[in-house]
Copies of this chain bind each other. A is one copy, B any other.
Amino acid sequence: MQSVFVDGVGMTKFGKDPRPLTEIFSQAAQEALAASKEQEVDALYIGVMNPEEFTGDSNIASQIADALGLTGIPAIRIETASSAGAAALQAAFQAIASGYYRRVLVLGGEKMTHLSTSATTRILAEVIDKQERQCGATMPALAAMIAEKYRQKFRLSQSRLENMLCSVALKNHLNGSRNPLAQFQKAITREAYFASKLVATPLRLYDCSPITDGGAAVVLTGEKTDVRLSGIGQGTGPLSLRERDIFTSFPATRIAAARAYQMAETSPQSIDFAEIHDAFTPFEIITTEDLGFFPPGKGGDAVIEGKTAFDGPLPINPSGGLKARGHPVGASGLAQVVEVAKRLRGEGHSKRHFKRGLTQSTGGLGTNNFVTILERTDSPMIKNPGKPVFPAPVPTSPKKATPPGSISDEGEIETFTIVYVTPDGFLPPLALALIRERNGRLLMAQGEDNEHLKIGREVYLRRIDDFYLFTVKSHLQKVQESLKKLLRHRVAWASKEDKSSDTKL
């Protein structure tokens, strides 16, 4: 396979950008071309999530080729939800590694801020499962349910989890304050964090990445530069929460990481810093575990202890991450590569000399993820000997058959959240829970009230059309049920005794 290198990179100032999407792309492209050894490219590979609905733009690849004055050259658009920028990079990598193209201009971008928050939330929510959306689930709501499950699995107190999430937000906003291209360039305080409104328990406004316009550009080339793209991998995971075996890890990241580490002949221990997909603060914690940086359940402690701080041993999101740099969905996966390339070249972190950086991008709710490893070509290639030390990916399991039997009208809470920022048509506060019904199926359901929610609590389920409602069983109801059961048991036992006495006769 032909080696692939990074030439010029560029990105716009993220935030609210009044220009049309094609102009945002053009600025990033022109910067990357201007910073390159050669200005000619053979093709354009463009990552963008949903210009059809955000800006009414279709046929975007041809539009951008036109806007750049490059009409004629091949141009394709690539999409994997919010990791589209990383997907474009991977496809371009393959195009150059094959020798088919020599130089490709990779672009990632999105324009989102011109719409209302509810319109944007609706478009973003289309990446999640339909049945879960019908219940009122949004991306933050599902991320919140994952955070709650994480808390329960690793036996964290409410305040310990909040402390972890707050630490991610504080770190990334502080990092953003050093990044002139970040959407938010101001550090925030613990007080501001805890004063920010709840979006979906336990997530607050400062746990969620913002709505952003922006573009990023990277020129990939088959000719040697100072930065090599040494590893790249992709994995997928189940779209819906209710078809998952595991909620506190994204198998898609583990699959992608395994491939990237193997290809780069390296391991998590050799990575100097990383830009990862912190669309929600709990995702940063989970992802540092999936990437093998910290053991499961320890990612949060690492943040609190400063291990992932700007000057810590393993800086995570030194650019500010999606949290503070902003999250134009199609741009983020490629902006990470821009940030890592710049830092490897000595920009932004001038006191430290980094050899190897990693990027991780997440599509949807961890359903389509990428990992990329970049390294300086002037550093000696010290490769890891022997067995890989990163966590093995969860093996691909074919879709499970639906368990037999009808859906029971009882079950228990697998995880839950109370949504305060609801989609149009749903009144806050809205209780949502993933319920494991008696026959083993997982269902997304709306709470009839918001009281007594806790993982493991027993609930009654009620179906209305395609829609489930749940009520937590009260103590009294449970006592009544136990009595009924006991009674049934006695009756059955008595009738059995009758029968056996019959046979004796």
Give residues in A with beta carbon < 8 Å to B: 1-2, 43, 49-50, 52-53, 56-63, 65-66, 69-81, 87, 90-91, 93-101, 123, 126-128, 233-240, 243, 251-252, 255, 363-364, 367-368, 393-399
Give min CB distance, A124 to chain B, whole Å.
9
Asked if residues A65 and B97 are in contact (CB atoms below 8 Å), the reply is: no
Residues of B within 8 A of A71 (CB): 236-238, 396-399
The answer to whether A398 and B98 touch across the interface, beta carbons within 8 angstroms, is: no
Q: Are A364 and B77 in contact (CB under 8 A)?
A: no
Q: Which residues of B contact A80 (CB under 8 A)?
A: 59, 61-62, 75-77
Contact among B98, B101, B239 with A62 in the assembled complex (CB-CB below 8 Å): B239
Tell me which of B74, B95, B398 contacts A69 (CB under 8 A). B398
Question: With A78-B78, A100-B94 in contact, do A72 and B255 touch (Cβ < 8 Å)?
Answer: yes
Which residues on B sit within 8 Å (CB–CB) of A74?
A: 233-236
| B368 x A72 contact (CB < 8 A) | no
Q: Are the C-beta atoms of B75 and A2 separated by less than 8 Å? A: no
B99 touches A95 (CB 8 A): no
A-B CB contact pairs (8 Å), 8 listed = A1-B99, A50-B52, A59-B363, A71-B396, A72-B397, A74-B236, A94-B98, A97-B100
Whether the pair A76, B78 counts as a contact (CB closer than 8 A) is: yes
In the assembled complex, the Cα of A104 lies from the Cα of B69 at a distance in Å of 33
Q: Is the CB of B79 within 8 A of A79?
A: yes
- Contact between chains at A236 and B79 (CB < 8 Å): no
Complex Cα distance A347/B243, Å? Answer: 41
- In the bound complex, CA of A76 to CA of B96 (Å): 18
Can you name the residue of chain B whose Cβ is closest to the Cβ of A370? B74
Report the minimal beta-carbon distance from A393 to chain B, rounded to whole angstroms. Answer: 8
11 more contacts with CB within 8 A, not counting A72-B396, A77-B78, are: A43-B234, A59-B81, A61-B80, A62-B363, A62-B368, A66-B399, A70-B398, A72-B235, A75-B236, A94-B100, A97-B98
Query: In the complex, what's the smallest C-beta–C-beta distance from A307 to chain B, in angstroms?
Result: 30
B243–A367 touching, CB < 8 Å = no
* Chain B residues in 8 Å Cβ range of A58: 49-50, 81, 123, 126-127
Distance to closest chain B CB from A404 (angstroms)? 19
Query: Which 3 residue pairs spanning A and B have beta carbons closest together?
Result: A72-B396, A58-B126, A98-B98
Q: Which residue of B lies closest to A399 (CB)?
A: B69
A97 surroundings in chain B (CB, below 8 A) = 98-100
* Residues on B with beta carbons closer than 8 Å to the beta carbon of A60: 79
Do A66 and B1 form a contact, CB below 8 Å, given A59-B127, A76-B78, A79-B79?
no
- In the complex, chain B residues whose CB is within 8 Å of the CB of A234: 43, 74, 76
Residues of B within 8 A of A395 (CB): 72
Contact between chains at B99 and A66 (CB < 8 Å):
no
Query: A58-B81, A399-B66 are known contacts. Are A98 and B2 too (CB-CB below 8 A)?
Result: yes
Complex CA distance for A236 and B236, rounded to whole angstroms = 31
A239 touches B66 (CB 8 A): yes
Chain B residue with minimal CB distance to A68? B399
Residue pair A236, B396 in contact (C-beta under 8 Å): no
Q: Smallest distance from the beta carbon of A221 to chain B beta carbons, Å?
A: 15
Distance in angstroms from A328 CB to nearest chain B CB is: 16
